[in-house]
Structure formats: C-alpha cells, structure tokens
Structure 1
Amino acid sequence: MSQALDRINALRAQLHQHNHNYYVLDAPSIPDAEYDRLFRELQQLELEHPDAVTNDSPTQRVGGAALKTFSQVQHEVPMLSLGNAFAEQDLHDFVRRVREGLGDLLPAGDLFGGGAEVAFTCEPKLDGLAVSLLYEEGVLTRGATRGDGSTGEDITINVRTIRNVPLKLQGSDWPPVLEVRGEVYISHAGFAALNQRALAEGSKVFANPRNAAAGSLRQLDSKITASRPLEFCAYGFGRVEGGELADSQYHILQQFKRWGIPISPELRQVSGAEALLAYYQDIGARRAALSYDIDGVVFKVDDLAWQAQLGFRAREPRWAIAHKFPAQEEITTLLDVEFQVGRTGAVTPVARLAPVQVAGVTVSNATLHNMDEVARLGLMIGDTVVIRRAGDVIPQVVSVVLERRPDDAQAVTIACQCPVCGSAVERTQLIKRGKGKDSVSEGAVYRCVGRLACQAQLIQAIIHFVSRRAMDIDGLGDKIVEQLVNEGLLRSPADLYALQYERIVGLEGFADLSTRNLLAAIAQSRQVSLARFIYALGIPDVGEETAKLLARALGSLARISQALPEVLTYLPDVGLEVAHEIHSFFADSHNQHVISALLEQGVVLEESSELHAEFSACATLASVLEKLNINHIASTGAQRLAQRFGSLSALLAADWLDLRSIERFTEKAAQSLREFLANPANVARAQAIEAQLLEFGMHWQSPKQALTGLPLAGQTWVLTGTLEIMSREQAKAKLEDLGAKVAGSVSAKTHCVVAGPGAGSKLTKAQQLGVAVLDEAAFMQRLQALTG
C-alpha cells in the first residue's frame, strides 16, 4: 500500500505540474498522449485503492451525483460591479477623479510636470460569468457565483470540473485562507465544438459563449458541466486570512500565476490616462483575433493602499472602471412604438422591431428611454434604424438611416391618456435645488397620474410589495398578482389583508390547499420589521439599504413619515434629492391613505420607537445654517455665524450691525443672509427644522444618549473562519441586533472573536492580545443566553 500511495502522490504532483504548464504558463511539457497515459495510471491506482482518493486529485473533475438545488453563499466581501466608460472623455474623467481622490498621497512631480502619474493594471474584460473560488490551506473548498453581489449560489461541485482551476495551489507561500475571484468563460473554439456536438446529438444549440458558460455552471448535474469546455481567468481577490499578499494589484495576480491560478496573458501595468487609452486601442484592434469574447477592458488603480483611500460609492469601487467597446450593431426596421407603464407611473416608449440577430441574440424590442431620446434620434415609425446591444446586453436604437425613410413614415407621439387606465399623462418637472432658490424645468419622463387606479402601476406596486426582500409573501408570484388584480380583488396593497377564502378558491389554478396556504402566508406577513415595510412601500430612490438606515436611525414610522428633508440629510448617505423623495412620498394624501389602510388591516410594525443613540444631539447650529442653502454662506461662514450667535433665535433677531461685526464675514454674505431672513417662508422653514430636531432628540441642546440598552452595546466583535450552523452574514446580523459593532480586524479594543474552522491570522492576533475567543458552539450558547 505504501508503494502504491507513493506512486499516487508522485502522479498527482506530475499531473498538477503539467496542468500548470499547460493552462497557466501556456507551455505544455509533454504530449497529450503522455498526459493521458499518466492520468489513466492514476485512475487505475485510485480504483484499486479508493481510500487514497482525495478531493484535490486531478481525477476528481468528472462531476458527482446531480443536486436537487444550489445552496446559498453569503459573500463576506461583496462582489461589486464596476462603473463604465464608453467614451475617451469618460476615461479622462475617471483618471481625474482618481487623482483628486488621492490628493496629497500622490507625489507632486517636478517643477515642470503636472504631478506623478497613477499606475494602473489593465486587462481584457472577459464576457463570461463572475465566480469566487475559496482555497483553505491551498485546497479548493468552495466555488460560488456572484449572484446579487452579496449572496451567490454554491457551485463547488461544478467549478471543480473546470480543467484550468487548480484543485490545489502550487508552492507553499499562499495565505491559509484565500478567496480568488475571476471569470468563467468559453473560448471561440470551445463554443464551436460545443454547438457542433449539440447539432450532431440533435439537441439545442447555444446562442453565444456567455450564455453557454452561465448555463453550464448552473447545471444541477455536474457531469454535464464537466463535459463543457469551460475555462477560468482570475482578476482579483476577496477574503484573505493569514499569509501576505503583495501590495499591488499587478503583483498579486503574478503571485496567483505562481500558485497555479490562471490570469490573463494580456495583463499589463501602465501609468497615466494616455497609456490607458493606448492599451484600450491596442486590445480593441486585436479583439477579433483573440480566442475568447471580450466586451471591453478593465482598469484598476494598482496600489492597494490607494485603492483603500479611494474607497467605494454605492455598489462600485472608485478605483476601477470598465472601458467598454462599442457594441455590435445591425440594421432593421422600426415597426411600431408602444408605451409601457411602470411601478412609478413612468410611461416609457419601447421600439418594436423587425427581428434581427445582434451579437448572437435575436432582437425584436429595444428601449427608447423617453420621448427626449425619440426626438434626439428624429425617429419615425417605418424608419430603418441601427440597433446596438449596449454593453452587449440591452438593445438600443442608435440612429436612423434617413436615406431609407419611407414616404409613409409616421411621427411618434405620446398619448395624453395612459394606455392602460386612461388617466392623464403629464410631463414631470425637475427641481434643481441650489443656493438661494430652486429652479424648475421640464423632465424627460412622462408619468401616468392614475397611481394605484392604474392597473399597470398597481400590479407592479404589489409585485414589489410582496417580494422576498419586502413583505416576503410566499406564493404570490407575478402571475397570481396579475390574476388577483384583474379579478378586481386587489386595488391597493392593503387589499391583500382583506382577501377571503371564498373569493379565491374558485379562481383558475386555486384549490383548497393552495388557497389556505396563500392566506396563511399573507397572515404571517402581518408582523414585519419597519425596514422591510419602508422598502415595500416602493418610495422612489429608496432601496433596501436606505430603508434599513431609516428604520435603524429614526426608529418609528411616525418619525420617518414626518421627517423634513433637511433633517433626513443628517443620516449617512441620504442626499437632499432622496430626502425630498421620502418627504414627498409621505406628504402625499394617497400614500397616507394606503399606509393607514395597511395598519387598519392588522399590519404590525416591529419598531424600536426610539431615535438611535448614534444620532442623538447630532445636529449643530452651523450644520442647520449650511443646510438652509443661503447664497454666499458655506461651511466656514455657517461656523462663524454659529460661534457669534449661539442659537437660531439670536441669529433671527440680529440686525445689520450685528452681522457686519462678525470677523471675516463678508458684506456679500451678510447681505445674502439679510435677504434670506427677510422672507417669512425662509424663517418659518428654519424654525420648523429646529423644532423637529428638538422633537426627535437630534438638536445640539438635546441630551446625548450613550449606546446602551442592548446587551452588547459598545462592544466590538470579529468573525473569522467558516461558520457551519449559520452564515457569517446571519451571525453579523444577530450581533448587530444585540448592539455590537462587527469589525473586520482584531485590535486591543476587540471584545470577542468568534472563530470557526479555518480561522487564521485574526485568531492568532486575538490570542496574542488576550482577546476572548469563542468557537461556534460557545457562540450559539452565548446568543441563546442573550436572547432568552
């Protein structure tokens, strides 16, 4: 047995090395026939000694038993999307923003230069499916799709079948826990062979390599995945514990290559905007000759410390951008323009086209965005138009071929009445809020004013209301919602809670059990968190995270619904435009009626009713003055006014001499303030803001509340390793519910570390610092004790 085991280990080492030479170095060292001979020998030995088979053996790529479904994976480090550049100016703007964001960190250069250039990594943007590979102690333990960026699907059994994904890393200097991120794709040659085989078998052919790759990875039967010519290319990393990675994007990818992880052969390190454009143009010129599909190139700031300085906005990093290539285009005929009504009442023109193949996909519809776009294009029904799949995904009308316009071409006009409900269609108005005054202009969007009386808006509003991240009513799919609306059983979300068994059981598709299950699911949703309820209402520009913030910070529906826009802007990431949307939504009488009806139907909100201690006494007089948007008074001027007068009432009573006596306060600023205060409406607004800050407990004179009241308030916890009973995201949520802050690193201020299997450097540091450490079993006992 020992001789056989030695031979098995030797064969595995040889095959791992040959895979590395072939897939990573592109320099095969033996003929395919010799590789196959070694592979068959290993297979035979493992057949004779099944106890010696390991997960990282090269033979374990053929797939296993079919799954019933994929389990969910929470990404500890979110898999974010990238911002896009489509024009040269977009790229110059990106580089300018990077330089501004780095500020003093960027070397100044010499007396004759404009400052040192920023170094970037450049690589093609593969057109495939983003995945995450987790290696623990050098062995592949998990593969996951990107999903929505926070939650993906566990596709470990499928990624193990991809030939160039190392089941075990080369070398020994890799971190104990390393999450590699990259793209799974199919080459042109592999795609052609795949479709040729499909034709020979009489099965359906794939439309394009990307769809083939995505479909292959999501097969429940991994043997099917194993039969597909999938390839992997790494472009970054996520979770890392223990060990050390290089301090630059480029050198980290070189480390990956050394460890056997395939990276792009087109990877380059360059400096400055002109070099980025040169790389983009070079790859663009060679795009057709590449062996795989790309839809652009990706540029990333190379220095990791600079990446950290630049940070993120919304769901994309400020230090990276995808510079897209012009999409493939085709010519077709515009048969008609129809209008669709969305959840918010926006009436959107949609082009109906003579079907045409664009980038491997049949296109018969295309977005026209709004009527301003129709006017810009000069579009008429009957025109010959150029179609582009923007970003190679969304079909768009690019231009009109005027020389082919027929004599009977018809103008595109938007009806005065909604095509669904007949209510008036009005053009929206844009309010630009600036110093001193608001300017009003016509918006690009037309909106049906019928609201929930409009069936299209009602259907979409209820679909959103019952969705998983909102009220989470199981069994209410899109078709059932549409059916209930069409039957006249739902005229607002509140009607869901008045549905009766007798009215549903006779409908098509419903029987006794399905009706009872639906009513039970609706009843179960009556008790809901404030955050979910706010999100379910469908307030424009208020997504799930903003809803959570509003609920956590303000604590009650009453406080959220009364909050003035200026008060809402004290919450992080709530800008003035979003604040006005929130305020306008709750000020609307129709929305007030729907909310009241929901509460009357027994919807019970789980709310703290208290302002979060973090926001107690958070406002200052200077900040209020700054939010009033007075001409010529910015942050510094507001600070001087606050220091001089100390209270809003004292400022409102000030005369001209008082204002002129303020040191370094300009006459122009003083004059603007006098003009502002001369308007009674401005004074009333300032007083209303202060009164609400006092009422909410956010006023500078309000008592500052300590972060207490919850059992873990004021404590910092750290999660490390793999948790088996619950996901790390669930553990984090439970700790935060108990008042703890969950940090990503261990320090002397850390109260406790929860360490699951595979815990690395964080556990070591906790032990060195004498920080309390709990395994998952002890952690679960602690949670049970705290929550009863």
Structure 2
Amino acid sequence: MGEPSTEVAGVPVPALKRHAELSELVEEARWRYYVLDQPTASDAQFDEWFRELLALEEAHPSLQTPGSPTQQVGAPVSGDFAKVRHLARMESLDNAFNDADMAAWQVRAERLAEGDPGPYLCELKIDGLAIALVYRDGKLERAATRGDGRTGDDVTANVRTIKGVPHRLKGDDVPSLVEVRGEVYIPVEDFKKLNEQLVEQGKPPFANPRNSAAGTLRQKDPRITAQRPLRMLVHGIGVWEGATEPRAQSEVYDRLREFGLPVSDLYQVLPGLTEINEFIEHYQVHRHDPPYEIDGVVVKVDDFRTQRELGSTSRAPRWAIAFKYPPEEVNTKLLDIQVGVGRTGRVTPYAVMEPVVVSGSTVERATLHNAAVVAKKGVFIGDTVVLRKAGDVIPEIVGPVAALRDGSEREFVMPTQCPECGTTLAYEKEGDADLRCPNARACPAQIRERIYFAAGRRALDIDGLGYVAATALSQPLPPQQPVVRTEADLFDLTLDQLIPIKSVVRDPDTGLPKIDPKTGEQKVVSFFSNINGEPSQNALQLIEELERAKQVPLAQVLVALSIRHIGPPTARALADAMRSIDAIMNASEEELAAVEGIGPRVAATIRDWFAVDWHRAIVDRWRAAGVRMEDDPAPEKGPQTLEGMTFVVTGTLEGYTRDSAAAELTGRGGKVASSVSKKTSFVIAGDNAGSKYDKAVSLGVPILDGAGFEILLNEGPQAAAEAVTTPGS
C-alpha cells in the first residue's frame, strides 16, 4: 500500500479539515444569531472563526467556493414568517480591525476609482438588527429582515409598532418608491429593564440588546412587540424612484430626515484617512456615550456616482467598510458564586469564572453586588454567561446564554452567616438591598478591609500597606495571632511583630483567597521577612511610612477612621470648620449639621460613630502614638474673588494635583463640583481631559487651560473669560 495522500486537489488535508470545521461553526453561529435569536458564540469568537476562514481561503483559493460562508450574507430566513424578496440585495460589510486594514481599504478604493474617492461619511455601527422598509407613494408598504441578503422575513406588522417609524412619509418631493435600510435596536437602559421583567416572569433573559431587539421584532403577536421599547435609525437606501435623486450619502440623510424618518446626528463627512482615524479613535473612547450599543464605525464613500464605480464583491460593497472595535463582551463559564465581606460589613456575591481575556485583560471574577442583582440577571451556577468589560470599567456579567443550559445548572443561595467570622447576617434597616455582617469590631474581613482603606492615598497615604500587608497583619496563618485586631493597633507595630508573619494572598477586588494554579492550593507568602528570617524591605518601608503618616492633615485622619459617609470632600469640610478631632467629637448634631456639605443625616452618623467605645479607643491610641489630631489655626481668608462661582477640574494641570487645584479655587470662595452642568462657571481642563471636556463643549461652558487657570487665580474671572479655549455661554 502506498503512503496516504497529504493533499486533496492541491490543498493539505489538515487545511481541508479545518476549513470544514470552521464552516460548520460559522454557519451554526449565524443560524442561532440571525434566525433563532439565541446566540451561543460571542461576537469575538465569531470574528476569530471568520478571520481564520478567510486566511485559509487566501492561502488556498480553491476553498473559496460559492457555498463557503465567506461568500454569503446573513443567514437563511426562518420558517415563522412570510418570505419577501428585497428590491435590491442587502449586502454585508467587510471588516477592518486596525489602522493598517483601513489604509489597505483606502488604497484599494483609490486604485479602483483611479484617484481619491473621498470625501467619506463616517457613522456609528449600531449593534442591532438590519431591516429594509419599502414606502410606495409615501406609504409604508412592507418591512423585512435582511435574511440571506436577497430574501427576508416579512415583519411589517411588528415594525408598524416601533416608535419613530412613520407610516407615511411627509414632504413634497417624496419618491414614488423608496427602500430604506436601517437598524432596529433597544436602548441600553431599556434593555436592562426588559431583562429584569423577563426574569421576574420566570423567563430566560436576553444575552444582549441586539438579541433582545431581534427576538422582539420576530414576535408573532405585534401586541407583544408594541409593549417593548424598540427604536430604529436609518442608514441608507436600496431603491429610489420617482423623485429628485440624491447625489451623496449625506444628502440622503438630509432628505430622509425631512421625510420624517429617524436618522442619527452622530455622523460626519470627512476628507481623508487622518480625519477618519480621529473619528474612529474618538468614539472608541466615547463608545458608551450613545444610548445604544455600538461595536465600531462604518466608513462610506459619500458620493453615489463613485460608489457605483467601485461596485461590490460577491458579498460586500467596495465603497464601504466597518471598523470593528475590540470586543467588550465575551462568553465564559460561571464556575461558582462566592461572597466577600467589605469594610462596612456589606456581603457581596462574586462570580468565579473560567479565565477569559476581555478588553485586553484576563478576567476570572466579577461582582454581582447583592442577591437581588443575581436574581435580576437570571444567572445560575454552571451557566455560560456573557461577560462585559467596557474599557477600564470593572467587569460585569450581563446575563446567561440560556440556549446552552443542559439542566445541570443550579441557583445561587445567599449565605445566612458571615463566611469569615460566622456571625448571622442581617439588614441594617428595613428595605435595604445589602446584607451585612454586624460584627464590625471583630470580623477579620472587615478589619482587613478597613486597614487597607486607611492606608489609601486620600487617607493615611501609606504605600507600604497594600492589600497583601493588610491581610498579613489582620489574618496571619494559624496558629499565629493577628498583630492588628483593630485599627487601634496600627501605629504600635514593631519589626519584631512583623517578621514571623505568614499569610494567605487575597484578591483585593473580592477579598477571596487566591489559588496557586500549579498546586491548586491557596497562595501563601512571608511578606515581612526574607529567606534568612531578617526584616524584608516591605517591613522596613511599612515602619518608616507609619511614622511619616502620623503627620498627615486632620482631613486624611478622618477618612482613615472609616466613618460612614465621610469621604475626602466631607472630611475636608469638617476639618476646615472644626480644626481638631476633639471639637468634632464634642460637637452637637446641630453644630455638625451646620458645616457646609454635612447636613442632619451625616451629622447623626458622625455622632453615632464617636458614641462607640472601641471607636474612641482608636482615636485615643492613635493620639498616644503621636498621630496629629488637629490642624494649624485657619489662615485668614484672602480675597474671595470667586465667590458664588462653580468649577469643575479635569485632566492633568502642570504644577497642581486635582486636590491642590480645588484648594486654590475654594480658598478664593469658589465651589468645586464633580460634574459639568449649565450652572458651571468654568471647566479647568489640563492634559488628557476626558468626557467632562466634551460635556462642557456641548453645553457651551467656558473652558480654561493651565494658562487660563493661572489668569483666573491671579487676575479674576473677568480676565479669565478672555482666555477661554472654547467659546462658552
């Protein structure tokens, strides 16, 4: 017998097998996504399969047959609705994932157009359901899903229920026949409410807004569709007859808006690739500003005649491309739900998942906030879940992929006892959403979290007291006893106490023990000693920084005490008004409430905190150890040139921290707010200013850069008004 063939028709057998496998995966994913509205693969996974399929066909062109998934649009239509043929084929878009892809697309377009095909229209790529509306003599005749690009499902009755979709076009120059293309979607906030309602009704929630829009539009009963918050935005035309024909995409949008159709304002006509990339980068940063989900930007040659010259491939126009942003949603397995205990005793459920990369980082845990949130999301232990991580925002479980359930999943049951000290959990007051451990004085979890918080930058600012150190001090490995039983012990620490300590490493986000992937056991460290049993650099640094922390201002000491509702701004107001810890402890509720920004509720909280004997013991022990408990006498106020004005500080200002810039403003009588409104007098914007800068521009609030800020401080608001960098009101 001869050797088995390693090729078939010139294609290596492994490549043939992989192509067949990928084709099956892509077709199955499309069917579940477009027809069943029950996606089981994330967008990221689908894109990965599709790109690999394209790469195989580029390497082996004979694999690119008319039946390949790369040559098809959408998916087969479902069997639940009447089938209609589109007046013109609805195509897909080719994708770009980086600047090189965009540059290559423009080079191809320039070659085919024999010159620059610009200008270009850039618009947001809504993650919704593609739809085509046919208006005859101005009246809505038909609405159909994209289907396979040639034939779609007739969903006219359901589309008629969508708010904002006109049943009749208005205006004098309405075409006798026009096919309008767009996206049907559900706004993000409405999607969250809809899922909560479904879970309350005992129904599986939708995986994402696009899935919910598709499922809603395919309801057989239009009355159900009418009860759900569907919206639509128009982004093009397929056919236009019997009226003055537009010459460009942007002109179409103007005309469609005049007809009463819903058209987005978030598009721009741009001259070239530099400006296109700036538009793409802007919305990558501001991806969550629109009320609907977007997954990229669509770039189109604006001129219709040039579009016709460029033409299409078998599945996509050459005159348009979709730039896809890195995925913020992936699917992963929910292995368990555990609970962690915070510094105020709040007990928080956390999802433990199979590690997965999303938005550039590996995620294996995500907060679920409380038992009510777990129930609202409808997730079970063992589910495949949709995990979302928007930029630098903490990871969030969106919901389950209910279509993948096999019956082995189980509901989460909130514990009745603290997992770290065994105390019976309770609600602090009737109507609270969060269970708490009431053992504030002795619960090792709460002590650990309060120590870590006290060391933070806005409190005692002790770099050497991170989460590992806080855990080691409060929860050493048995049989060792904690050297910090309450915060009172903190400033009495010695090197002799630190050296023997060994501790389990815990996750700072959840408080749960970390597991060594090699051994499967909890990670253990000797944080304060080296292999010779001598003090480590960590130990020496901690002792040194504890000594320095004794001199921090009173406001930072107040924050470090973990008094409920006392964050840095409130602590600063208290310290400025009272000047000493004794004055605060001895003040009446009325005197405390009279301090600006305090009020009766916070005043009562302060009085209640100091009424607890072990709280007062912390203050006494810290005072005895040399911690400053009063500030210097208040300096005389300078000229109050900014009295009655409100400011917002954003970005990085040369020569100032955010706090010191705020102090300069409040020292002159101004108020510093955290958000921009029409009542804001000036926004002070340094380098890398973010969304607050954009909000100021949109509201017409005057903006000052670093130089303008100096003019404001030294010469007053009238002089600063002449130095604004953006026109304001």
Taking structure 2 as the reference length, the TM-score comes to 0.42
Query: Of Structure 1 and Structure 2, which has the larger fraction of its residues in helix?
Result: 1
Taking structure 1 as the reference length, the TM-score comes to 0.39
